[in-house]
Structure 1
Amino acid sequence: MKVTHAVLVHGIWQSEARCFGFLRRDLEARGVEVIVPSLKPTDGRAGMALMAEQLKKEVNAAFGEEQEILLVGFSMGGLVARCYLQDLGGADRCEAFVTISTPHHGTKMAKFHWGKGAAEMRPGSVFLKALQDSESRMGKMPIVSYRTPMDAIVVPADSSVWGLAENICIPCPLHPLMTFSPKLRKDLLKRFEFPAG
């Protein structure tokens, strides 16, 4: 599968400038056109659906409405990306989906943060149940979910294991370092063909 366009979706409290630096450079060096939309509010206090709507607008503005994309979501960004794919028709244009340290089944750490997004990331939330119920909308696209067993943000760490995905464990000491992990980036990049590859 040749990837020419990629969308990277940041995690909580992050923005284009604070996430995916190395992975973005890796992809651009291979001739991929990359966007990293800065979704607001960055702490997710207004909920995932609002951020997913922003994501859809940013993708369409950058790449039009039909260009196929590789979609990569980190942490909360993986759930925002799923909302876009499953609820807003994004799956129709997505050729592959990668999540990195995403709490697909919620995280107990979300109880220490306020706002709608945090409530949606708590295990058993209505939001997570709705995502689970609409998983069939993902179609047949390849899906990979990376996780670290040492995750102190996604608790329990195996909440990043997703039944639809190929689940890969990458030893990494800190949750925010996962997008920088050389082992993760090497594995991700070998899965695709690129224009300058």
Structure 2
Amino acid sequence: MFRSLFALLAGITTVSAAEPAPRMTRAVLVHGIWQGEGRCFGFLRHDLESRGVECLVPSLKPADGRDGLEPMAKQLDTEIRKAFGPDESFVLIAFSMGGLVSRHYLQDLGGAGRCESFITISTPHHGTEMAKFHYGRGAAEMRPGSVFLRDLQLGQSRLGDIPLVSYRTPMDAVIVPSESSVWDRAENVEIPCPLHPLMTASLKLRKDVLRRFSYPGR
């Protein structure tokens, strides 16, 4: 019942696998705060796996980020190496806080060398005022002007020429201001969505993600 209600709120329908889409064989999906493998990318993961894409959706702990974003990035590195070995390439898709965790992995842990494309969804690239009301080191690192965000900004060149996309909704009440998801290094795409946690389920967003890639057998 709850899944049906969630789908109704998000305006979700299944994205047809027969729909033409512009080659990825592996994708890593990185969740946001308070989430895990089963609570963030269900619809998009289904879209990708139905097209033969192998998806890794690690549950990074602690999910509330209380120990900081860098330890989560190290977990991400470990999980990717366990699943795909040291060299196999992949597309990285990250939601909210997961986008900052992923940027640290790419820029500071050497992940950029094997990443084919990096997509962030409602990520506070410049911080969010709402982080001031949350506890823990990770929240402090997501506050505007934090040392963590400054270091990410200064280290952007280590991303090389990876294609970058940043999705945002102007109605975001978690990423405040919502313009914090605008990333000058990326292609910025605005998706009308009423609630922050519904962004990964948005049909319009999922279609736009899928059109960017070709798939096994195509």
In the alignment, the residues of structure 2 paired with residue 135 and residue 105 of structure 1 have an alpha-carbon distance, to the nearest angstrom, of: 13
**Distance apart, 1:5 and its partner CA:** 0.4
- 2:18 counterpart residue number: none
- 1:153 counterpart residue number: 174
Structure 1 segments unaligned to the other structure (5+ residues): none
Alignment of 1:132-147 (within 5 A): 132-147=153-168
**Distance apart, 1:2 and its partner CA:** 1.1
Q: Which amino acid aligns with 2:84?
A: F
In the alignment, the residues of structure 2 paired with residue 129 and residue 118 of structure 1 have an alpha-carbon distance, to the nearest angstrom, of: 15
**Equivalent residue pairs, number:** 197
Indicate whether 1:191 and 2:175 are aligned: no
Bigger radius of gyration among the two: 2
Q: Which amino acid aligns with 2:73?
A: A
Q: Runs of 4 or more off by more than 4 Å in structure 1? A: none
- 1:104 counterpart residue number: 125
Alignment of 1:15-164 (within 5 A): 15-164=36-185
What secondary structure sits across from 2:117 in the alignment? strand
Indicate whether 1:182 and 2:203 are aligned: yes
- The answer (yes or no) to whether the contact 1:29–1:196 under 8 Å persists in 2 is no
Counting aligned pairs with the same residue, the percent is: 69
- The answer (yes or no) to whether the contact 1:148–1:171 under 8 Å persists in 2 is yes
Normalising to structure 1: TM-score of the pair? 0.99
- The answer (yes or no) to whether the contact 1:9–1:77 under 8 Å persists in 2 is yes
- 2:3 counterpart residue number: none
C-alpha RMSD of matched pairs (Å):
0.8
In the alignment, the residues of structure 2 paired with residue 170 and residue 25 of structure 1 have an alpha-carbon distance, to the nearest angstrom, of: 20
In the alignment, the residues of structure 1 paired with residue 99 and residue 215 of structure 2 have an alpha-carbon distance, to the nearest angstrom, of: 23
- The answer (yes or no) to whether the contact 1:145–1:161 under 8 Å persists in 2 is yes
Normalising to structure 2: TM-score of the pair? 0.89
**Distance apart, 1:196 and its partner CA:** 4.2
